[in-house]
A and B are shown apart, each in its own frame.
Chain A
Amino acid sequence: MPFIHAHSQNPLHSLFTLPLSVQAHTQLLLLHQELIEITLNEEPDVWAYIWNAETFSVNKAYKQLSGFSHPHPAFKWIWKSACQNKHKVFFWLVLKDRISTRELLRRKNMNLEDYNCVLCNSRMEETLMHLLLQCPFATQCWAWINVQVPNDLEAFQVLQSFRNQLSVSFFMEIIILMCWVIWKARNDLIFRQINPLILNSKEDFRREIGVFSLFLFFVS
């Protein structure tokens, strides 16, 4: 039965304190229009969800409750890449600027003798951008795989530029592993007193990418 008929003995306007204002009256007519289209029956109501499903999903509800912030797609690229998990987590920390570079340690009020980059003699503070991109050592590493480090760009723009320059489907794996290799060269120098050599880093990179290409081979 249509909704309006169902309570014809108490008409719609009996819900309201009369008289109505002109605006409210217009809205009342609109409401009447909406209600007249509804037919009531004996079935229970169906509560569906805004993700277009009648079934409830805890996962969807969780996502809905935590909200959406639409971050840079690079965060998706990380987890989609075929690198090892340790590389992925490392690169996540890189993108969030949470790698313990000397500049970060200074920000955390840690006392060091020297906050400068150890891979070059330019007396530059070891920031993440310097260490992985601007340092001559890093620039050489990137140049080896034919990637030019653009100047004065923000981190995500650099990433986009690298992606364009590499123009292969596994660009993210290359970027992640190269950053990992540079970071490793820096740590080797500081903690194990091994001199940073482009040659060694190239070898590291080859080995890491070798593991990864073996993986690609098995997947395809």
Chain B
Amino acid sequence: MEACSRQLWTLKALLQSFGESTGLRVNHAKSMIVPINTPESKLSLLANTFNCEVGKLPFTYLGLPLSLTKPKVIDFTPIVNRCERRLAATSTFLSQAGRLEITNSVLSALPTFCMSTFLLQQSVIEQIDKFRKICLWRGSDVNAKQRPKAAWTMVCRSKEEGGLGVINIRTQNEALLLKHLHKFFNKVDLPWVALIWESYYSSGALPGSSKKGSFWWRDILKLLPKFKGMARVKINSGTSCLLWDDLWGSDVLASKFPELLSFAKKKTYAFHPCTLPESTA
């Protein structure tokens, strides 16, 4: 809301009357005011009005770091620390199989919630992997010296593929994020999907060449080739599909008719005819 004490008073009054009538009172000491482009002098006044603390971005909202920019590595330390704490609770006396189970079902699962929203940085993944390796091969003692028995890449294959079924965090992260692209392309009835279609692709252009949008959407778009690699379109309105590059028939047109494509005026066409150029004939 706007940084204006009049509005703040109104909000406070609203919360007050809500608390009075329902008995569900707001604990102002647990509340936080987060400024965006607000001068310092005004801020302290507002905070005093509302009787709450002044917070700053990024802060934790629903268990995830909330910020205007991409969360930095340091913002993910709570997740890494959680893995480390869990490690200390892991008994040294477990067998190899027991430690494998702990790694698979506890340590690998901890970052899942975060990974279904953010594309984790490589260094965050490395730190989590470090603790998973310790858990699998060394028991709970971080400093104990015991070499891993098998290479991590070998361990990280699924059991059918001849590994130990430990998930590869990077791949899992991508698989989880592809779900957002699934929702986007199928135009699932969600506010964010409508928002992104409206604000970035209302002109009929489709995601592909240009990378625009918030840090989050740009991260998701990095996975576009991987998504297109496993998706096949059934054309209805043709508004979300590229003529040359997407798989809608038996083959991707670009590889089926390369000769013809070399004569095309534009290499990326959306399928829908209203985005086709005016007739030059």
Q: Which residues 226-281 in B have Cβ within 8 Å of A in the complex?
A: 226, 229-241, 249, 253, 256-257, 259-260, 262-266, 269, 272-273, 276-281
A160 an interface residue at 8 Å Cβ cutoff? no
B182 an interface residue at 8 Å Cβ cutoff? yes
Question: What separation, in Å, do the CA atoms of A66 and B226 have in the docked complex?
Answer: 11
A24 close to B238 (CB less than 8 A):
no
A69 an interface residue at 8 Å Cβ cutoff? yes
Question: What separation, in Å, do the CA atoms of A24 and B260 have in the docked complex?
Answer: 4
Q: Which residues 8-41 in A have Cβ within 8 Å of B in the complex?
A: 9-11, 13-18, 20-21, 23-24, 27-28, 30-31, 34, 38, 40-41
A47 close to B158 (CB less than 8 A):
no
Chain B 147-171 near chain A by CB (<8 Å), digits 1 or 0: 1011000100111111010011001
B168 close to A50 (CB less than 8 A):
no
Chain A 86-125 near chain B by CB (<8 Å), digits 1 or 0: 1011101100101010000000100000000000000000
A71 close to B162 (CB less than 8 A):
yes
- Chain A residues with CB below 8 A from B176, complex form: 58
B185 close to A47 (CB less than 8 A):
yes
- Chain A residues with CB below 8 A from B98, complex form: 85-86
Pick the residue among A20, A47, A92, A108 that contacts B263 (CB under 8 A).
A20
Question: What separation, in Å, do the CA atoms of A45 and B279 have in the docked complex?
Answer: 26
A24 close to B262 (CB less than 8 A):
yes
Chain B residue nearest to A40 (CB atoms) is B238
Pick the residue among A45, A48, A75 that contacts B239 (CB under 8 A).
A45
A24-B259, A27-B257 known; A79 vs B231 contact (CB < 8 Å): no
B222 an interface residue at 8 Å Cβ cutoff? no
B24 an interface residue at 8 Å Cβ cutoff? no
- Chain B residues with CB below 8 A from A45, complex form: 185-186, 233-241
A72 close to B162 (CB less than 8 A):
yes
B179 an interface residue at 8 Å Cβ cutoff? yes
A61 close to B260 (CB less than 8 A):
no
A14 close to B279 (CB less than 8 A):
yes
A41 close to B162 (CB less than 8 A):
no
B77 an interface residue at 8 Å Cβ cutoff? no
Interchain Cβ contacts within 8 Å, total number:
181
Chain A residue nearest to B168 (CB atoms) is A66
B98, B100, B147, B186: residue with the most chain A Cβ atoms closer than 10 Å: B186
- Chain A residues with CB below 8 A from B249, complex form: 34
A192 an interface residue at 8 Å Cβ cutoff? no
Chain B residue nearest to A84 (CB atoms) is B97
A6 an interface residue at 8 Å Cβ cutoff? yes
Size of chain B's interface in residues, with CB distance under 8 A? 64
- Chain B residues with CB below 8 A from A16, complex form: 260, 263-265
B260 close to A20 (CB less than 8 A):
yes
A184 to chain B minimum Cβ distance, whole angstroms, is 13
Chain B residue nearest to A44 (CB atoms) is B187
A69 close to B162 (CB less than 8 A):
yes
B178 an interface residue at 8 Å Cβ cutoff? yes
Pick the residue among B179, B241, B269 that contacts A15 (CB under 8 A).
B269
A219 an interface residue at 8 Å Cβ cutoff? no
Pick the residue among A27, A38, A75, A98 that contacts B162 (CB under 8 A).
A75
B84 an interface residue at 8 Å Cβ cutoff? no
Q: Can you sample 29 A-B contacts with CB below 8 Å?
A: A3-B273, A7-B276, A10-B273, A11-B279, A13-B281, A14-B279, A15-B269, A15-B277, A16-B260, A24-B259, A24-B262, A24-B263, A27-B259, A41-B237, A44-B236, A44-B237, A47-B240, A48-B231, A49-B230, A49-B231, A56-B182, A62-B167, A62-B171, A71-B161, A89-B100, A92-B164, A93-B149, A98-B149, A108-B147
Given pairs A10-B273, A13-B281, 19 additional interface contacts (CB within 8 A): A3-B238, A14-B276, A14-B280, A15-B264, A18-B263, A20-B263, A24-B262, A41-B237, A44-B187, A45-B185, A45-B240, A47-B233, A49-B230, A51-B230, A58-B179, A61-B175, A69-B161, A92-B164, A96-B154
Kindly list the 4 A-B residue pairs having the minimum CB-CB distance in the complex, ordered from nearest: A85-B97, A7-B273, A71-B162, A56-B182
